[in-house]
Structure 1
Amino acid sequence: MPVRSAWLINRTETESGQTRADTRLAPLGTMAPNGALTGAGGVIPGSVDGEHLMSGLYVFGESAGMKVTVTPGRAVIQGQGAAGAYPVVLTDYATLTLDDGNASHDRIDLVVLRVHDAQFDVGDRTEASLEVIKGEASATLEQPQVPPASLPLARITVPAGASVGTGGIVWADAVYDLRVPTVAVGGILPESWNRDVAGGYPGQYRDSSAALQRWDGTRWASYPRQTGGIAPQGALAAGEYTGQYRDEAGRLERWDGAVWRPAVPSTAWANHTDGGYCTSTSWVESVTDTTGPTITATFTVPVTGAVLVTVGFMGHTGVDGQWCRMGVNIRKDGVLVYGADEVRSATVGSKAMTSVSATSRLTGLQPGAVYTAVSAYTTSATSNRGWFDNRFIRVDPLV
């Protein structure tokens, strides 16, 4: 089998150890560390013309039967403890044969690239090899344990009764790629199919195919998630720290520690064009003889805690010398914060149809909180029917 390893067998007069070609072909240098004396094993990425992430050591089956093929490639395999990391190369296509399937149950086999070193393990072999680790046939499928100093390349499900005589294995459904890439220390790890592979040290980087990510000691964090960055749409359901920002369908939002709030609150607007009248001498939130008695504008308070509230309508009184007013009640979570009053109201004092509006500055509101502005109406006497038409509420954030 064309499997070679550098720094494994000493070349002597009686033993053919590492050759010059082995040295040239095998990966050299310090690979990405994951411990003081250990490195992250994996396949060296790359392919002809750069079309694929890694074409080396790919496991596939081409025809009916029980044989799999492994493509040429290079890898680094971390040995046991002080044994160090072994650079290994497969210089030609290699074929492995799987045992026939169990009569009753499926099983899972592993294809691994393995290093045997008699100096560090209990065996008497000193060589690198491709091997099939046969799993146990069972009603509950379990992957066999990966041997020490081994790099798993593929997981293969062997159906019950599979053999050359029964048509073998359906390769398109049976093989699951287990290869992970590795690069030299300081290099950027390419995308891996096994995304749960942890980083080796804080400050290590990898390419997730969508973003550059940094290992922070506990997880891979994409650049848009770093402090001060803006997370792209769909990246975060919940924020990771108070003050983080995200893009939500073109709108910038800020995480307040519990929920996402608009980073720059927009103007809130509510109106109704159907008229009605009021005969109450105290503030009420509805008018009579209209399809839309109440107007409600929901708004988010900016960081200043201040907003401009404008109310307006077109109307008239029913009696000369009397008046009617439209104001607004401000509530948070259903609790009245600012009640309607004459200072912040739009007032009409004539039987002639008149358009009026009034703007007030409200302060002391909770930044980032959601409030509602609800229309309110009153008139100077119960005998005075005040008419209100084209009513509106507008709330502008003061930033």
Structure 2
Amino acid sequence: MTTQYTPLSGIPYPQPSDPADLPAQLQSLAQALDGRTVLRFGTAAERDTKIPAPVAGMVAWVASPPRLTHYTGSAWTPVGAVPVFRINSTAGTTTSTTYAETLTGATGDPMAASFTAPGSGQVIVTVGCYASSSAANVASYMGAVVRNASNTVVLAANDGRAAQTNGVTRSSLSTQFLVTGLAPGATHTATPAYRSATTANTATFGTRYIRVDPIM
């Protein structure tokens, strides 16, 4: 078939001088369109196996977890922001002065929120809860730990990014912070973590939640 292409998408089309070979012409057209449609796969692994050399701009639907992705030229990332939200209504306590991801007396810990890093490599993490201290003027902190797919900590919990209360009265508190430098298209987790300012104080946390918002 004579090599002629449409000016915008570069789709080949036959010329009057070409032999009358409809199957070959349709095959050429189908192959050219194949990578320009919304591709469909069961998993990201299946997508990566069938498309070993993706081209920037390709779009693929992955069924598990359900997500529309596109190839940026360096990684497959979600087409739109996909916020992740986790909540745990059970209350628990800690006397640990280092950040712990599991509370005494609570169920469902650690409550990791799994997310895919967007093309920007940036997300906003928000944590919140009801909290109190057993002693006046002694702080209780709720922060979050961010890990990559290898379970390596890429951002540790820190008092400067934590929600804090100093009172014995049950208080509602929350905080949010920006995480940068994540590997685009890679799976990460953000997990709430808690601590008390002193081991003599019992820090109590209830109705805990974490939310991750990708920045596209």
TM-score (ref. length: structure 1): 0.44
Contact 2:123 2:180 in 1 (8 A): yes
Instruction: Provide structure 1 residue ranges, at least 5 long, that are not aligned to the other structure.
Output: 1-31, 34-183, 191-198, 200-204, 207-212
> 1:196-247: per-residue Cα shift (whole Å, max 9, x none)?
xxx4xxxxx30xxxxxx426xxxx615141xxx2334359842241432123
| 1:189 corresponds to | 22
User: Is residue 281 from structure 1 mapped to residue 97 from structure 2 by the alignment?
Assistant: yes
Query: Quick one: which of 121, 133, 139 aligns to 1:305?
Result: 121
CA distance in structure 2 between the aligned counterparts of 1:187 and 1:287, rounded to whole angstroms: 74
Distance across 2 between alignment mates of 1:296 and 1:279: 21
Aligned residue number for residue 241 of structure 1:
54
Tell me which residue corresponds to 2:137. 321
Q: In the alignment, is residue 345 of structure 1 matched against residue 155 of structure 2? A: no
The residue number in structure 1 matching 2:187 is: 370
How many Å separate the matches in 2 of 1:232 and 1:282? 47
Could you tell me how far apart the structure 1 residues matched to 2:179 and 2:89 are? 26
Query: Are the aligned partners of 2:132 and 2:166 in contact in 1 as well (CA < 8 Å)?
Result: yes
Cα distance in 1 between the residues matched to 2:74 and 2:181: 21
| Counterpart code for 1:287 | L
Q: Does 1:223 align with 2:33?
A: yes
Give the C-alpha shift of residue 329 in structure 1: 0.7
> In the aligned structure 2, how far is the partner of 1:295 from the partner of 1:365?
20
| Aligned AA (2:153) | L
SS in 1 for 2:134: coil
Q: Which whole-Å deviations, capped at 9, do the CAs of 1:353-373 have from their partners, x for residues lacking one?
A: 111000101112121111111
Report the secondary structure of 1:221's partner residue.
helix
When residues 323 and 188 of structure 1 are mapped into structure 2, their CA distance, relative to the original with a 3 A threshold, is: farther
Mapped partners of 1:287, 1:317: distance in 2: 14
Report the aligned-residue RMSD: 2.8
SS at match of 1:343: helix
Amino acid at match of 2:203: G
Q: How does 1:118-157 map to 2 (within 5 A)?
A: none
SS of residue in 2 equivalent to 1:214: helix
Q: Displacement of 1:255 after TM fit?
A: 4.4
1:265, 1:301 within 8 Å by CA — same for their partners in 2? no
- Counterpart contact for 1:230–1:247, Cα < 8 Å: no
Going from structure 1 to structure 2, the CA distance change for 1:375 and 1:252 (only over 3 Å counts) comes to same
Does structure 2 conserve the Cα–Cα contact (< 8 Å) formed by 1:270 and 1:295? yes
Identical pairs, percent: 29
Matches within 5 A, 1:141-220: 185=18, 189-190=22-23, 199=24, 205-206=25-26, 213-214=27-28
Which amino acid in structure 2 is aligned with residue 233 of structure 1? R
Deviation at 1:187, TM superposition (A): 5.6
The structure with the largest alpha-carbon Rg is: 1
> Which 5+ residue runs of structure 2 have no aligned equivalent?
3-16
- Cα 1:262–1:187 change in 2 (3 A) is farther
Equivalent-residue separation in structure 1 for 2:75 and 2:21 (angstroms): 34
SS at 1:288's partner residue? coil
Superposition deviation, residue 292 in structure 1? 2.1
Residues 1:187 and 1:394: Cα distance change in structure 2 (over 3 Å) = farther
Letter in 2 for 1:241: P
> Partners in 2 of 1:392 and 1:349 — Cα distance?
20
Question: CA shift at 1:314, angstroms?
Answer: 0.8
CA deviations 1:342-387 (Å, max 9, x no partner) are: 1111111111111100010111212111111111111011111110
User: Hey, what's the Cα distance between the residues in 1 that align with 2:75 and 2:182?
Assistant: 18
- What is the TM-score of this pair, normalised by structure 2? 0.78
* Structure of greater relative contact order (alpha carbons < 8 Å, 6+ residues apart): 2
- The answer on whether the counterparts of 1:312 and 1:391 sit within 8 Å (CA) in structure 2 is yes
- Structure 1 CA distance, aligned partners of 2:130 and 2:19? 70
Following superposition, the deviation at residue 258 of structure 1 comes to 9.6
Q: CA shift at 1:277, angstroms?
A: 0.3
Q: 2:211: which partner in 1?
A: 394
